[in-house]
A and B are shown apart, each in its own frame.
Chain A
Amino acid sequence: MNTIRKLLMACMLIGGLGVASALLAAEINLPELGVNPAQAKAARAQEGLKRDAICTRCHDETETKPVLSIYQTKHGVRGDSRSPTCQSCHGDSEKHLAGDKDGKGRPATDIVFKKGVYAASDEKDRASQCLTCHKGGKRTNWDGGKHEQNGMACNDCHQVHQPADKLLSKKTQAEVCFTCHKEQRADTHKISTHPIDAGKVTCSDCHNPHGGVGPKLLKKNTVNETCFTCHAEKRGPFLWEHQPATEDCTNCHTPHGSNLTPLLKNRPPFLCDDCHDGPHNSQAPYGTGAAGLQGGLIGATPVSPATKVNPNTSASGRACMNCHVMVHGSNSPAGALLHR
């Protein structure tokens, strides 16, 4: 009995060993991870820096105007394969690298963006450098747009080598536009204005300086559409429309600033008198008890819905809007006179 048991044990052991060895001999199959993405980025960064070193060998931190601060911007993210190198924008500039061969001074780089030692390049060349990457999107209508037609290029407004481009922040953007658009700067200092100085609204909230389909480089197709992006309650549709408001906000308003709140070109009643004359235009003097009429109300008594009561302009205190409140349009069944 013992022998058989021993034999059985031995067989089990040998069997177990066989299985174990079979398992151990199997290949360990783990999935391939491929290249470490962090290492790939680091390699790209070093490659980019090597290419930049062609230029930063001389143009280093001793430059009077900062160039290395571009590395603090999105253009300087070396780990991103889309990032440009110095030569991507300024051109390969073999002549500049060769030095002063003929005693006439070192030749200019292929593209010169700002006038300094060398004259600036033509605006088309300067713009095309940026547009190689930044084409489309908001710049779809650059060609033929007002700024392009006036001989401007991207770097006339944008600062690429500064750590923060003033144009990219609401608080500082308007200042850049105002360097040329001085009238608008003056307008924002009037009594009634969009909160541009407060940094809440800026030029690019309404305008697309790169070129737009609307008039005056507006973002949207028409003036009204642009205004409605914020002032949606004026859009309508209204039961009773005020036609000049529906047609063009700037019939009455001037968007940059005015001394007449709210951003009006003219004050009532003169504003309204631009289109509306009589029945309020009576020049007749009025007074309490004058000819039995009270408060300058011209028209027959008794007052009834059928009788049109037309307050004399002088009596209404030139305050058309005391009664005609809903100047942008009304949905009230009260009627087309925009009272409610």
Chain B
Amino acid sequence: MSFKFNMLLASTVTALVLSSGAYAAVDEEAARALAQQNNCFKCHAINKDKDGPSYHKVAEKYKGKPEALDKLVNHVTSGEKAKFPDGHEEEHKIIKTSPAKDMAQIKNLIQWVLAQ
């Protein structure tokens, strides 16, 4: 009702909206380009399983899970072990961006994967 109250409300809503990255639009072209550069498609296809699960499967698995983004960002940046269909394990490839360690690009990529 009062002007101060309205301003407080508006700024809170704006802050909330801006902080949640999930509402940011996914740049599909940039995501695909980064994936191609890092040879992601050698093991992951969008709709079929290769050595790694398809992105569709990944999106299904993490649907609605709020920790998905952080978990997957960690998966592609830490070199943690990934299991292959024949049982053996290898370190997952660490994504390279230019400029190096650009979190925004990596996050965009993961969001695109989760949208498949």
Contact = CB atoms under 8 A, between A and B. Distances in A.
Interface of A: 57-60, 62, 64, 98-101, 103
A45 to B, nearest CB: 21
B36 A99 contact: no
Given A99-B84, A99-B88, A103-B91, A62 B51 contact: no
B71 interface: no
B50 interface: yes
Nearest to B46: A62
A64 B41 CA distance: 10
Interface in B28-50: 36, 41-43, 45, 50
B90 interface: yes
Interface in B5-59: 36, 41-43, 45, 50-51
23 contacts: A57-B50, A58-B42, A58-B43, A58-B50, A58-B51, A59-B42, A60-B45, A62-B36, A62-B41, A62-B42, A62-B45, A64-B36, A98-B88, A99-B51, A99-B84, A99-B86, A99-B88, A99-B90, A100-B90, A101-B88, A101-B90, A103-B90, A103-B91
Contacts of B41: 62
A203 to B, nearest CB: 37
Interface string B53-89: 0000000000000000000000000000000101010
Contacts of A59: 42
Given A62-B42, A100-B90, 11 more contacts: A57-B50, A58-B51, A60-B45, A62-B36, A62-B41, A62-B45, A98-B88, A99-B51, A99-B86, A101-B88, A101-B90
A58 B50 CA distance: 6
A91 to B, nearest CB: 19
Contacts of A60: 45
A221 B91 CA distance: 60
Contacts of A100: 90
Contacts of B90: 99-101, 103
Nearest to B49: A57
A303 B41 CA distance: 92
A99 B41 CA distance: 16
A86 to B, nearest CB: 15
A107 to B, nearest CB: 12
A109 to B, nearest CB: 14
Of all A-B residue pairs in the complex, the 3 with the closest CB atoms, nearest first, are A62-B41, A100-B90, A58-B42
A164 B50 CA distance: 30
B96 to A, nearest CB: 15
Contacts of B51: 58, 99
Interface string B79-116: 00000101010110000000000000000000000000
A321 to B, nearest CB: 65
